Amino acid sequence: MKVFVYSIHEFDKPFLEIAAKGKHHLMFTEQPLNEDTAIMAKGCDAVAIFTSDSASTKVLDKLHELGIKHIALRSVGFDHVDLKKAKELGMKVGNVPEYSPNAIAEHAITMILALNRKIISANRQVRDYNFKINNLIGFDLNKKTVGIIGTGKIGAVTAKILHGFGCKILAYDIEQNEYLKKYLNVEYVDLNTLCQQSDIITIHCPLNEQTRYLINKINIALMKDGVMLINTARGAVIKTEDVIEGLKTNKIGSLGIDVYEKEKGLFFEDHSNSIMKDVMFTQLLSFKNVLITGHQAFLTNEALQGIADTTIFNLDSWQADGVSKNDLI
Ligand code: NAD
């Protein structure tokens, strides 16, 4: 297949090229897919896109006009694709349903540990030869209550790791995982109870119409004073504006985010020589108890290998049979 690959990065290009084994003609651009760049895919059968791309109604119309029949997502999440429109247009959309849930779960845990033990401040102080530790007090994770929102593949691995720390685990999900209940003593509760009882809340559900702004001022008000909130899922699952208010009043004691609701056009690029126009983001950066990474939770060799292999598998399947087991529609 002739495939136009949008938003390619140095970190994923070699994995894709090796996985393709010369079977497909891959053409690359660092540019994201949008209404202006859709035209670049002219003459191709498929596009391969990343979370920073937009496959909105208008973009899909353009791709369809150009004869694109397949959209290979290099991600688990598909909130950046208008699936209803793609179906109407008869396009195939396939994702990477699982690559390494460990990568993302481990990143969430990294954030919990770094925030709790104030690792960033500690390192900064030591580099300044300031060895006073008065401001670096953390807490034992052992016996703390952690609320996991979304206990799918990533949430389940997160639960396993936290169980090892001796945490009590509460969970909120529209489907319960019997294994987690039986073997890790995970207790499913409603969202309000999870918010009320958790010392740490970590989010692992997809972004969809039900989960947009799932965490907002109403349930932040229910949370324990000083709660730690971690989001490695999608930015808009939390209402950032409300979380900032929670940080200002110390209701939220610390925040770790790998995703940000306005990350499109910001993350995955070097903006170090431009003026930051996103006031909400600069506000987040002003808090010492906020840790931000730029959507890198998936960035392990194992995950990149998995993404590349499944993306190529989807293209192979479409070429051979017209369908893939990872088709979303
Ligand atoms: P998954 O489909 O295995 O699990 C998602 C879980 O969320 C499921 O158990 C599902 O029942 C639950 N869920 C769905 N709707 C819900 C709702 N309204 N309320 C509560 N729970 C709900 O997916 P996964 O592989 O565990 O990935 C979870 C999310 O993590 C992805 O959708 C993606 O957005 C995000 N993600 C982020 C990164 C990153 O690099 N930061 C990488 C991969 C995935």
Burial of 131 (0-12, 13-18, 19+ CB in 10 A): exposed
Catalytic residue among 74, 80, 234, 261: 234
Q: How many helices (H) and strands (E) does the chain have?
A: 12, 12
> In ligand 1, which atom is closest to the CA atom of 205?
7
For ligand 1, say whether the CB of 210 is within 6 Å of any of its atoms. Answer: yes
Could you give the CA distance from residue 265 to residue 278 in angstroms, rounded to a whole number?
A: 11
Clarify whether 163 is annotated catalytic: no
Residue type present at position 237: V
Fold observed for domain 2-99+301-321: Rossmann fold (3.40.50)
For the stretch 94-139, pLDDT in tens is 999 999 999 999 999 999 999 999 999 999 999 999 999 999 999 9
For the stretch 131-185, pLDDT in tens is 999 999 999 999 999 999 999 999 999 999 999 999 999 999 999 999 999 999 9
The pTM is what? 0.96
Q: What is the CATH number of domain 101-292?
A: 3.40.50.720
Clarify whether 261 is annotated catalytic: no
Handedness of CA 182, 164, 301, 204 (dihedral sign): positive
Handedness of CA 279, 284, 287, 291 (dihedral sign): negative
Q: Helix or strand or coil: residue 194?
A: helix
Identify the pLDDT of residue 150.
98
Q: Can you list the residues of the chain whose pLDDT is less than 50?
A: none
> In ligand 1, which atom is closest to the CA atom of 156?
26
The ranges of the chain annotated as CATH 3.40.50.720 are: 2-99+301-321, 101-292
